[in-house]
Each structure stands twice: as C-alpha cells, then as structure tokens.
Amino acid sequence: MFTIGVLASGKGSNLGAIINHVKSGFLKIKIGVVISDNPDAFALEIARANGIEARYIEPGRYRTILDPEQEKKYVSCLREHGVELVCLAGFMRIIKKPFFDAFEGRIINIHPSLLPSFPGLEAWKQAIDHGVKFSGCTVHFVDQGIDTGPIILQAVVPVLEDDTPERLHLRIQEKEHIIYPLAIKLISEQKIRIEKRRVLIDEY
Ligand code: GAR
C-alpha cells in the first residue's frame, strides 16, 4: 500500500485529519511513521493513540534547520518505514539538500496562506497585518526555497473585519483539513503531473 511519513512539530490537527480520512476509506494509504523534532508535540500522542509508529528524533543544535547528522537519521527512519511520500504537517524546520536528494519530488507541505503571498512564519498574522480580504491555504511540493515549490491545491478563506489572527488561523485550518488529505489522495493515485511550475491534476 502507498506509504506516507508525516513530520510534525505541534498540535497535529492536520495529522488528525489525514488519519480520519484513512479511517473513512477516503485515503487508501498507510501512515508508516510520524516523526517530530519536539518531544512534547501532541502529534506524537495522536499517532500513538491510533497505533501509528511515532518517533521523536532530536533536531540538534540549530533552531530553524536539522543538524546534518540528525537529518540523516530522519531520512533513515523514513526509509526504514518504506515511506514513498513525506508530508510536512506543521513541521517548523527547513529541509536541506541531503533530505531532498533522498526524497526528490516526494515531499509536500501545507502552508496557511495563498502562496506566493505570506511565506514563512505566522502567515495568518501576516495576512491580517497586510489587510488582505482573502487568505487561505496551499499544499505544495517542497523545493529548496521557503514555501516556493509547485502548488498542488489551494483553498480560499475570507478575512473578516473582526478577525483576530487566532480566529483566522482556525478557519484556515478547517480548509487545510480538507485539501491536505485530498492532495495526498491525488498523489497516491498518480493523478498529478508537473509541467515546469504547473501541477496538473487528472480528473477525479
Ligand atoms: C498549520 O496551520 C500549517 O499550515 C502551519 O502550521 C500549522 C500546523 O498545525 N504550517 C506552517 O506555518 C509552515 N510554514 P497542526 O499542527 O494542527 O497540523
């Protein structure tokens, strides 16, 4: 069965959504392993509670990247579990070249804005501060830039006048929980082609 690995640093609501879509039969995939750089990530508890292998792998001495030695352990762990697609779900570190080389074209990410607007951290706050009327979320392939890879799916969320960053983020997350499982389904069923930067989706 098509096997994914999930990397998560935080509360794991996207992991939860993926698991629910596996349970409902919408996704015919296996979650081989969930790895976190944060020993207290709720994502690890969600994985364990659902009988999924959950690993904390120390990130090493840096704040925004994985220590190269540690990054090798992430790659080995994903390989050991037969992972074909790596799904970043709130993983708050930048992946470097050896990781890309190991999983070239097979790493995807969910980002809480309509890219290319508002890459980086707290995109929902950036959207409010900028005053945009619509924001949303994006599933994209990961390349070596920050939130710059080819876009697979996007969903739009209106920004309301009385929105706080937290409220906007929660509404964006409702859409994340729909489009991330859908993107995984499309990839697992080989319904996606990439032409230059454009991701073309076969009928589904
Ligand atoms: C999600 O909103 C995701 O888009 C964001 O972190 C959150 C994780 O939530 N990712 C980024 O900002 C990456 N730049 P979760 O732990 O509940 O899935």
Q: Quick check: CB of 60 below 6 Å from ligand 1? A: no
Q: Are residue 18 and residue 54 in the same domain, yes or no?
A: yes
Q: What is the DSSP letter of 150?
A: P
| In contact, 159 and 132? CB cutoff 8 Å | yes
Q: Are residue 25 and residue 77 in the same domain, yes or no?
A: yes
Q: Are residue 99 and residue 178 in the same domain, yes or no?
A: no
- Tokens in use for 53? 């292998």
Of 104, 134, 154, the residue at which a domain comes to its end is: 104
Average pLDDT over residues 86-90: 98
CATH number at residue 48: 3.40.50.170
Q: How many CB atoms lie within 10 A of CB 69?
A: 10
- Tokens in use for 151? 């876009």
The count of domains in the chain is 2
Closest atom, ligand 1, to C-alpha of 123: 12
Burial of 31 (0-12, 13-18, 19+ CB in 10 A): buried
Q: Are residue 193 and residue 139 in the same domain, yes or no?
A: yes
- pLDDT 10s digits, 171-182: 999 999 999 999
Of 55, 74, 104, the residue at which a domain comes to its end is: 104
pLDDT above 80 (res 13):
yes
Closest atom, ligand 1, to C-alpha of 137: 4
Q: Are residue 63 and residue 161 in the same domain, yes or no?
A: no
Q: Of 89, 174, 164, whose CA–CA distance to 125 is shortest?
A: 164
Burial of 190 (0-12, 13-18, 19+ CB in 10 A): exposed
Å from CA of 110 to ligand 1 middle: 7
Alpha-carbon distance 74 to 33, whole Å? 11
Q: Of 131, 52, 116, whose CA–CA distance to 87 is shortest?
A: 52
- pLDDT 10s digits, 32-76: 999 999 999 999 999 999 999 999 999 999 999 999 999 999 999
Residue 192 belongs to what domain range?
109-204
Is-above-0.95 flag for pTM? yes
Q: Quick check: CB of 136 below 6 Å from ligand 1? A: no
Q: What is the pLDDT of residue 193?
A: 95
Rounded to 5 degrees, what are φ and ψ at 23? -60, -35
pLDDT confidence bin for 203, thresholds 50/70/90: confident
Report which protein residue has its CA nearest ligand 1's atom 10.
Answer: 90
Q: Quick check: CB of 73 below 6 Å from ligand 1? A: no
Quickly list DSSP for 14-38: HHHHHHHHHHTTS---EEEEEEES-
Q: Are residue 2 and residue 100 in the same domain, yes or no?
A: yes
- pLDDT 10s digits, 123-143: 999 999 999 999 999 999 999
Average pLDDT over residues 102-122: 97
Q: Are residue 99 and residue 113 in the same domain, yes or no?
A: no
Of 104, 122, 138, the residue at which a domain comes to its end is: 104
Q: Are residue 72 and residue 99 in the same domain, yes or no?
A: yes
**Radius of gyration of the chain measured on its C-alpha atoms:** 16
Q: Are residue 41 and residue 131 in the same domain, yes or no?
A: no
Closest atom, ligand 1, to C-alpha of 14: 18
**Identity of residue 94:** I
Alpha-carbon distance 126 to 193, whole Å? 31
Catalytic residue ranges: 111
Q: What is the pLDDT of residue 204?
A: 67
Q: Are residue 73 and residue 25 in the same domain, yes or no?
A: yes
Q: Are residue 41 and residue 114 in the same domain, yes or no?
A: no
Q: Are residue 6 and residue 86 in the same domain, yes or no?
A: yes
Report which protein residue has its CA nearest ligand 1's atom 5.
Answer: 90
